[in-house]
Structure 1
Amino acid sequence: MRLRLRQFRLRTGPHEHRVVQPWSPLRHTSLRDPEEYGLLMGDHDGLNRLAGLFSFAAYSRHTIVHVPLRDGVPPDEGRGELVDLVLAHPEAGLRPTKWPELRRRLVHGTPLTVRTDERRTDRDARAWLDRPGSRDVLRHTTHARTYFLIGGRDAFASAATAFAYAAGWGPRHKRVVKGHSACMTCLHGELAAGHDILRHPEIVICFKPYPPYAHFRRPGR
């Protein structure tokens, strides 16, 4: 996949951070604060680009991927505060408490185009599934209206394939032609366990076309 991004290089003390954002916003994609149970809803473009962004994050250990989601079209479903999304490896050295300071300085970016390798992403996602007892997981927290996922290559790759599945098969769901959302898959095993031993954190991924729905056609029709 070809991704158009905006790149920033910021220095805090002795550390330099590389931050990238989508060049254009994901207007019809949103994330409800998933402290325990989150809802991510998007159209084909948003879910497809999230698949690419997670794939890019999987192989960019020293890059912070920032996906602004709060400024899009507000969803008409779900409850909870709308939050942005940040993806990073531990090697990026990002502390969520320092994020507001970095975010304020994201003002003069430069264009960047990257390509993701879907075959490599699928391979590493399958490898993650084949290691049920020793999988890496994504640590997660919410701070400053931003949801942080911090982890390793294979967990990000697995999440990327979940978004690709939702983007590819969501438009084929029968309910969506009338404007209904379709629950496609979720991020569950990719997320580190929370404090509540009775409930594992989860992000449900839903597809929903944006209005006017009369112009939406399922693939093959």
Structure 2
Amino acid sequence: MRLRLTEFRPRTGPREHRVVQPRHTLRHTSLTAPEPIGLLLGDHDGLNRLAGLFSFAACSRHTIVHVPLRDGIPPDEGWGERVDLVLAHHSYGLRPSKWPELRRTLKAGTPLSVRTDEARTHKDADAWRQRHTRADFRDELRHATHARTFFLFGSRDAFARAAVNFAYAAGWGPRQKGVGEGRSAMVTGIWLKDQPGGGHPREVLICFKPYPPYAHFKRPGG
């Protein structure tokens, strides 16, 4: 997949960061943080582009991927306050408390076009799936919410697994019953590392939802 991005190279102290954003807003995609269940609503374009962004994040250990989902059109269903999305590898060491300062420096970006490697993404996702049932498995997506931003921290394989889930939702979401009338359809999800102390497992539901007016939408094969 070809992604059109904007790249920023801000500095905080002696460190230079690399931050990328989608060049164009995901207009019909929104996210609420998991408390304990989050909701991601997206049309085909939004879910497909998120698949590409997660795939790019998987291969970019030294890059922060920032998706300003609050800039999109508010959905007509769902719950909770909308948040932006940030993806970063565990090894990057990004602290959510430092993100607002870094975000304020994202002013003069440059256009960037990249291509993702779907075959490699599927290979990495398969490697994650083969390991995740082991008793010593620790390769889960960690998360935090701060300053109206939802952070996901992971490894190459964990981000690749999420990318495959988004691609699946983009492909199969339009085939679900009721979406032609504007109803959302839950297709898959992102399951997160549990917080200490137990409680309901944290997860983000990935749902397909066409954008209005719904007369434009035709289910595949319909």
- Structure 1 residues without counterparts, runs of 5 or longer: none
Tell me by how many angstroms 1:125 deviates: 0.6
Does the aligned pair in 1 maintain the 2:89–2:154 contact within 8 Å? yes
Query: What residue in structure 2 maps to residue 167 of structure 1?
Result: 170
1:136 aligned partner, one-letter code: D
User: How many Å separate the matches in 1 of 2:176 and 2:73?
Assistant: 22
How does 1:189-200 map onto structure 2 within 5 Å?
191-200=192-201
Query: What residue in structure 2 maps to residue 7 of structure 1?
Result: 7
What secondary structure does 1:48 align onto? Answer: helix
What secondary structure does 2:108 align onto? Answer: coil
Query: What residue in structure 1 maps to residue 16 of structure 2?
Result: 16
Tell me by how many angstroms 1:14 deviates: 1.5
Distance 1:196 1:35, change over 3 A: farther
Distance 1:170 1:196, change over 3 A: farther
1:40 aligned partner, one-letter code: L
Identity of matched residues, % = 70
Tell me by how many angstroms 1:53 deviates: 0.2
Tell me by how many angstroms 1:198 deviates: 3.3
Q: Tell me the matched-pair count.
A: 219
Query: What residue in structure 2 maps to residue 204 of structure 1?
Result: 205
- Structure 2 residues without counterparts, runs of 5 or longer: none
What secondary structure does 1:130 align onto? Answer: helix
User: How many Å separate the matches in 2 of 1:92 and 1:52?
Assistant: 20
Once the two structures are superposed, what CA deviation does each residue of 1:124-167 show, in whole Å capped at 9, x if it has no partner? 11111111222411110000000000110111000001100000
Determine which of 183, 186, 200 is the counterpart of 1:183: 186
Query: What residue in structure 2 maps to residue 220 of structure 1?
Result: 221
Once the two structures are superposed, what CA deviation does each residue of 1:166-217 show, in whole Å capped at 9, x if it has no partner? 00001111210111100101111xx211135231111000000001101111
TM-score w.r.t. length of structure 1: 0.96
What secondary structure does 1:177 align onto? Answer: helix
2:184 aligned partner, one-letter code: S
Determine which of 137, 141, 144 is the counterpart of 2:144: 141
User: How many Å separate the matches in 2 of 1:91 and 1:64?
Assistant: 11
TM-score w.r.t. length of structure 2: 0.96
Does the aligned pair in 1 maintain the 2:33–2:204 contact within 8 Å? no
Over aligned residue pairs, what C-alpha RMSD do you find?
1.0
User: How many Å separate the matches in 1 of 2:76 and 2:38?
Assistant: 15
Ranges of 4+ aligned residues in structure 1 off by more than 6 Å: none
Does the aligned pair in 2 maintain the 1:43–1:167 contact within 8 Å? yes
2:187 aligned partner, one-letter code: M
Tell me by how many angstroms 1:35 deviates: 3.3
2:181 aligned partner, one-letter code: K
How does 1:1-221 map onto structure 2 within 5 Å?
1-131=1-131, 132-133=133-134, 134-188=137-191, 191-221=192-222
Tell me by how many angstroms 1:91 deviates: 2.7
2:119 aligned partner, one-letter code: R
Does the aligned pair in 2 maintain the 1:54–1:159 contact within 8 Å? yes
Does the aligned pair in 2 maintain the 1:42–1:206 contact within 8 Å? yes
